[in-house]
Each structure stands twice: as structure tokens, then as C-alpha cells.
Chains A and B, each alone.
Chain A
Amino acid sequence: MDELIQIVKEFLKVDIDENSKLGDFEKWDSLGHLNLFMKLENEYNTKFEIDEIMNAKSIKNIYKLLEGKNV
């Protein structure tokens, strides 16, 4: 979880925590969300389905999603 938070912080350059979600920050808008998933795909060498990207709208959900992918 800390690692994920760190990645998001560095990438979006916003001060998120584990309760943050899409829309909380100007840089984490729908566009930032997509760029973030691009980044996560690279970082964890994995692929996300469209539904996964659209539904994982908070740090907690993204964490769950990554856990499910075993990365």
C-alpha cells in the first residue's frame, strides 16, 4: 500500500493518502486517472481491462485490484 501511495504521489505530484480517490485533486481528474493506469501498467508490468480502470476509482480499490493481479 505504501508503495502504491508513493507511486501515485510521485506520478500525479499530489499529496494523496490511502483514503484518496478520483476527483479529490485537480491532477487526479478523469484524464489523470487514465495516465495513472498507464503508469501502473508499466510499473507492475500488467494489463488492466477497461472495466477495471473505470471501477477502481480510489486508492483502496486500486490496491485491491493490484492485489488481485498478484503484483
Chain B
Amino acid sequence: MKFYTLTNINLDSLKLFLDYEFINSCSYGSVLDDLMDKESIIYKNKFDVIFCHLDFEEFVSNDINIDVFINLLDEFIKNFKGIFILSNFNKQYYSIDTYQNNLLQKEIEYNQKLFNFSKYYQNIVFFDFKSLVNRNFYTSKYWYLGRIKYTNECFETMAKEIQNIIKAFKGNIKKVLVLDLDNTLWGGVIGEEEIALSNDGVGKIYLDFQKNIKKLKEYGVLLAINSKNNYEDGISGLNHNISVLKEEDFIIKKINWNNKADNLIEIANELNVGIDSLVFIDDNKIERETIKELLPQGNVPEFPSDIFLLNEWFIKNVVYQYFPKVILTKEDSKKHLQYKAKFKREKLQKAMSYEEFLNSLNIKINILKDNKNFITRYAQLTQKTNQFNLTTKRYDINDIENFIENDNYMVLGVEYEDKFLQEGIVGLAIIKIDKEVEIDTFLLSCRILKRGVEDKLLEYIENITKKSNKNIVGYYFETKKNIQTKDFYLKHNYQQIDKNKFIKKV
């Protein structure tokens, strides 16, 4: 499954928690470039899933117009066939405007617009990140260290939700919920004691549990019983005057003293579904472990040790995990139409073209020649840059210093700045001037790709060496990560000599 994160922060850590084929965003925070450039990674690849998640603080500080943004999304999703997971914004509680709530107002407005938009397309699943956030989700330390805004806990939770959404979307969900009786649908052992099932106290936990299960049934999940009791005792529990779940709610009732694994096999056979379509809930650990052992393809979630968590656990770890749904009901479709109309009205501004966008950035590029102040940064760039790096030669500080001092070499650094970013040194070229002009190193930090910087740098090299009347030779050495630069010299009308060598004759 090809997966992409469309975002204005660094979400690459997700790949530690998801087993999908990650296509690297290269530069994080490239959401606008991705959307505006019709040649960008999202337009050129057929992704199965795109996860769009924007950081509120970054979005606001970059002063991006939400309507323009949504129009760009619209422009893209029109032709997108995969699953598009659209996350809402989360403003952190403490913000500089305190109780004036200006930022809060913005957040609410943005989220409303995103939500309306999400209803417009059937392949958008709205992801309510905001409600998921807890105080352990953010980290300042790793934000300053590596621009990682979220903790592992956050990424792990996000990843789980993404998986659930994909399952739901693909209809890859379970069919039958199989339940034990004693200490599962009610407290205590029926036939031996008064069971706990009531409108208050612990009994209410079980009553609420039954209500939740009943709702799940209404959503189309089949219910069955697999329990070790006398049949009459079990049925009498369901006929308890307060019981929400009644005998007829269950399509199959295996209330007997047989091995529960055998019962499950029978249930699967009678319903003509696979064992893997069953989810079995039992409070008894030994029963669970036995079934896991005998029927490894079955689904046997852990049961909460703290009974007060029963309903929370059921929704989060059972319903979301095994029975997630995105399919629209008729009622939903009606709403869908209303949202559609609303969104159309909101669609005021036309999307900007990529050229207009680039022009609006006020890009300033400055090329520094043999400047010793930046040798550390230059060395670091050669060490760290993998993607836009044509030769991937690694140099240390001494190497760089030697190049600068050597008259046959020229070290060119690129300084970049635009409306949003003051990036400092983002690119480097090292050229050797001998019989020919050889481009030994040519690299660019990912963050400013597609801004024409690479063209400016090459143009600079060509201009500065023009009067020497020499051929210019460029190299490309393929690595796992730099495929995207393969045609760089060809695009600039260099002639290919062999696999690695390109030439521009005088």
C-alpha cells in the first residue's frame, strides 16, 4: 500500500508504526508545493492512502488562507482515487491571546470548513485528531532537536487510527461478535447468585455494555453467545427484566459445557463465515488463551482488568479495531448533499497556480563563493543530504577547507530566504576546474526543492566558468535515495556520455 503524508510538519516518524510503503515527502512542510505543483509527488504517484494533517500553529504563522487551501485540496481530490484521510486542526490550549480566544475562533472556523469539505467527497474520511489529543502528545524537546512535534505515543495512536480507517474503508471488518455470559454481559454467575445488572453501581457498567452491544447490532453486526452454563440458566439471564439484550438478539446461542473453541468453529460453520470473521469476548483469561492457541486466526481481544473501563475499552479496542465503519447511510447522504451545497458557496477563490505561488513567495537566493564561514555547514550538508544529491560524496570540514584553499576548486554555497522561511545555507556545489569544469558535488536540502534553486545554482556555475571556455561535466551516481535527480542534467540539455557522466560543450 502506497502511503503519503501531506503535511506542514514532520510526520515521518509514522513509518515506525505503520507497515505501509512510505513514499517520502522529502521536505516536510511542503504541503502547499505538493498541492499547487501539478508535477508534484502527489500528482505523479498513485497513492492508495494520503494522510493530510496540518499543524495549526504552523498553518497560522505561515498566514495561509483556509479557503485557498481547501480549493487546492478540491482541485487535487477531484481526480484522486485513493483514500484521503483529512485530519482537523488542534490548537494547543495555552496560546498567547489567552481568553480573547481569537486563535480559538480561527481554529473552530477552519475545522468547520474542513469538515464541510470532507463531506463533499466519498473518499475523504474525516479524522478527528483534536478529540484524540492528550497532554502527552506534544514534545518541545524533540521539536527543537529535530522538528518532531509529537511524541511516540501520539504517532502510535495516529497510526492505529489510520489503520482502523483503512480497514473500515475497505470493508475489511469483522461480522460476528461472540460473547461470553457470566462476568461479561452481567456481573456474577447466573444460577448461583444474584447477577449484577442494574441502573446503578457496578450493575450499570454491564447494562451500558449491553446497550453498546445492542447499538452495534443495529449497525449490522451479528451477535452470538459462547458460554459455559446450563442452557436454561443462560437464557434466564437474558430474560432478566432489565436486560437490554434479549434472546432474539442473538443469531446463535452456544450455551453448553463444550470446549469454547469447538463452539466457535460451529458458529462459524453455521453462519458460513471464516473463523477470522468472529470476535470473541470473554472475561476468562484461560479461555482466551486456549482459543488463541487453538484458533490463531480468530480475534480474541484482551479483557480489561479494571471493570470500570469495560465500556471505554469496548468502544476503543473492540468496536474501532474490529467493526469500524465509514459507509454512508441514507440519512448521511442527505446531509452529504447539504454540505455539498454549502461547500460550493464557500468555494469563492480560485486556486492559485504554482507560478503565482512561487512569485508570491518573494524568493531571495544568494550564492556565496569560497566562503570559509560556512565550512561546518557545508560539510554537514554533504553528510546529511541524500535525496537531492547528485554524487553523494561525503566530506568533512578539512576536505571543505582544502577545496576552498585550492585554486583548482570552487565551493559554492546557496543561501535561501522567502516569505515564510529563512533557511540560511541550503545548497552546495563543489567544482573542479581543470581541462574541463567538473561538477564534483551538487546538492540541495530537501526543504527548498521545486523553488528553482537548483536551476539558479547550475546557471551560476555555467556563467562563472563561461569565459574559461571549457566543457562542463556533471556526474550522477545513483543511490537508493536520489533517483529523483536522475534526469537533472538531461533536463538542462547536457549530453549523456555514459551512465554517470553528462557534458555541456562550449
Contact = CB atoms under 8 A, between A and B. Distances in A.
Describe B's contact surface by its main secondary structure: helix
Interface residues of B, number: 17
B152 A35 contact: yes
Interface string B1-38: 00000000010110110000000000000000000000
A30 B384 contact: yes
Contact of B145 (A11, A26, A39, A50): A50
B420 to A, nearest CB: 22
A53 B15 CA distance: 21
A31 B152 contact: no
A59 B96 CA distance: 42
Q: Size range of the interface on A?
A: 10 to 19
B77 interface: no
A32 B12 CA distance: 9
B146 interface: yes
B148 interface: yes
A53 B139 CA distance: 15
Contact of B16 (A35, A42, A50): A35
Contact of A34 (B146, B153, B384, B480): B146
B142 A11 contact: no
Interface string B144-179: 011010011101000000000000000000000000
Contacts of B141: 50
Contacts of B13: 31, 35
Nearest to A53: B145
A38 interface: yes
B145 A34 contact: yes
Contacts of B384: 30
Interface string A1-42: 000000000011100000000000011001110110011001
A7 B428 CA distance: 38
B16 A11 contact: yes
Contacts of B148: 31, 34-35, 38
Contact of B12 (A13, A31, A38): A31
Interface of B: 10, 12-13, 15-16, 139, 141-142, 145-146, 148, 151-153, 155, 384, 480
10 contacts: A12-B16, A30-B384, A31-B12, A31-B148, A32-B16, A34-B145, A34-B148, A35-B16, A35-B155, A38-B152
